[in-house]
Amino acid sequence: MSDQLVAILVFAVTFLLFILNRDRALFYVWGGSLVLLALGVITAHDAWQAINWNVLGIFFGTMILAELFVLSQAPAYLAAKMVNAAGSAAVALLAIVAFAGVLSAFIENVATVFIAAPLAFETAKRVKVSPVPVLIAVAIASNLQGVATMIGDSPSMLLATAARMTFADFFWMQGRPGIFFAVQLGAIAAGAIMFLFFRGAEGRVGKKTPPKVTSWTPALLIVLLVLTLAASSFIPERPDALPGLITASFGVVALLWNSRRELFAMELTKLDWQTFFLLAGLFVLISGLSVSGVVATVADYMSAFAGHSVLTAFVLIVLVSVAVSAFVDNIPYTIAMLPVVGLLAERMGVSPLPLLFALVLSTSLGGNITPIGASANVVAVGMLKRHGYKVSFFEFFRIGFPVTVAAVTLGTLFIWFVWM
């Protein structure tokens, strides 16, 4: 049996098990990686080289900073202030969704849902509307804005490394607006549709006393991290791993600060280590597809299908990514497809950037279609269930589908006309 066939079979079985039981995803991914090592498809050196330490460094640092930021009560304080400033009930509900979007550009999507959910439930109750569309909108906004910056979500971290992008490149790159603005266009379209679901809310929202902030230091550290990453973007010939090193260093500083002050009882074992090690395992698993030549073969087939039409390739990437990510976690799909799209661009003789942007944007937004398309969706639906609201597949779909279509259409049109 050829190495290509072995790599495909191992990846397919692992991916299927991943979909069927996400709770044991870490076990399946590392099990598949060990099978590839045992069968000689990849070597230990290949596995070590495949692990993207820059992405892991960014994830490690933001994971710690986000946890301390949440524990400080600063996000809840800012959200309460925003709702108090809103006039009508519909505007207040939309403000909660917008706040979730802004927050998710800098911290993990699931954490964003946990932060925004209590305020969403309370506000919906005060204005006498169902919290279902509000929580769904919060999850959608979190998934949408997570790709706006380099530190927002795993796919954007992966994009930054694959395309050798700096923090500033997400905003302005090669003399053109970056993917951040494609996301914002999508957010405007999504916001308009969400407002239609909220416009039935009547009356005004009463004032709510914001919670007391224990410390603004975590928020300050996040601001300093953003400024440091932005400044590092202008260092000539900077090392590729510099963003990861900077972000991880800020995480360590935050840990040391908290250990000295003992303000927050942060349990390190309860941080999202599963995703951290899942990312590492996926890098090794996907390396089997690259080393064995599967990635090159898939790129050749896609190139042959598209012919000489870059537009066909662009649309193919968008449609497939949206469809797949509606049901499959976007992390393994993104890791698998980044090298494929890069090689496809090389085969067609075009810049890989617009195709990579389209891939990551479509993958992140496609997860908004169904309740199982993204972790944030699963969490939001679970919280609604605990509050006595059962969300059917169709109920989520009727909000997620039009929002996704509008956001993907505007976002990808922006990428096409600005970058192609």
Which residue has better confidence, 37 or 270? 37
What letters, b where the CB count within 10 A reaches 16 and e where it falls short, cover 332-355?
A: bbbbbbbbbbbbbbebbebebbbb
What letters, b where the CB count within 10 A reaches 16 and e where it falls short, cover 219-239?
A: bebbeebbebbeebbeeeeee
Which residue has better confidence, 286 or 261? 286
CA–CA separation, 109 and 145 (whole Å): 9
CA–CA separation, 89 and 199 (whole Å): 8
Angle between helices 242-261 and 53-71 (to 10 degrees): 30
pLDDT band, very low/low/confident/very high, at 171 (cuts 50, 70, 90): very high
CA–CA separation, 298 and 305 (whole Å): 11
Tell me what the pLDDT averaged over the chain comes to.
83
Q: Which residue has the tokens 């990861």?
A: 244
**Long-range contacts, 265-272 (Cβ 8 Å, 24+):** 266/67, 266/68, 266/71, 271/63, 271/64, 271/67, 272/63, 272/108, 272/110
pTM score, two decimals? 0.77
Of 35-49, 54-68, 258-272, 383-397, where does mean pLDDT reach its minimum? 258-272
Separation of CA 149 from chain center:
10
Which residue has better confidence, 329 or 165? 165
| Total Cβ atoms within 10 A of residue 81 | 13
- Over 70: is that where the pLDDT of 264 sits? no
Of 52-61, 90-99, 107-116, where does mean pLDDT reach its minimum? 107-116
- Over 90: is that where the pLDDT of 64 sits? no
Residue 251 contacts residue 65 (beta carbons within 8 Å): yes
Residue 169 contacts residue 233 (beta carbons within 8 Å): yes
pLDDT band, very low/low/confident/very high, at 9 (cuts 50, 70, 90): very high
- Over 70: is that where the pLDDT of 55 sits? yes
For residue 388, give the 3-state DSSP assignment.
Answer: coil
Q: What is the pLDDT of residues 181-240, one digit of tens each?
A: 999 999 999 888 888 877 766 656 666 777 888 889 888 998 898 888 878 877 777 777
Q: What is the pLDDT of residues 336-350, one digit of tens each?
A: 888 889 888 888 888
φ, ψ at 172 (rounded to 5°)? -150, 125
Of 229-243, 315-329, 353-367, 387-401, where does mean pLDDT reach its minimum? 229-243
Predicted local confidence at residue 180, as pLDDT:
93
Q: Which residue has the tokens 């039009």?
A: 402
Predicted local confidence at residue 415, as pLDDT:
94
- Let me know the angle formed at the C-alpha of 95 by 62 and 207, rounded to the nearest 5 degrees: 110
pLDDT band, very low/low/confident/very high, at 63 (cuts 50, 70, 90): confident
Compute, in degrees rounded to 10, the torsion defined by CA atoms 118, 120, 125, 127. Answer: 150
Predicted local confidence at residue 411, as pLDDT:
94
Predicted local confidence at residue 362, as pLDDT:
92
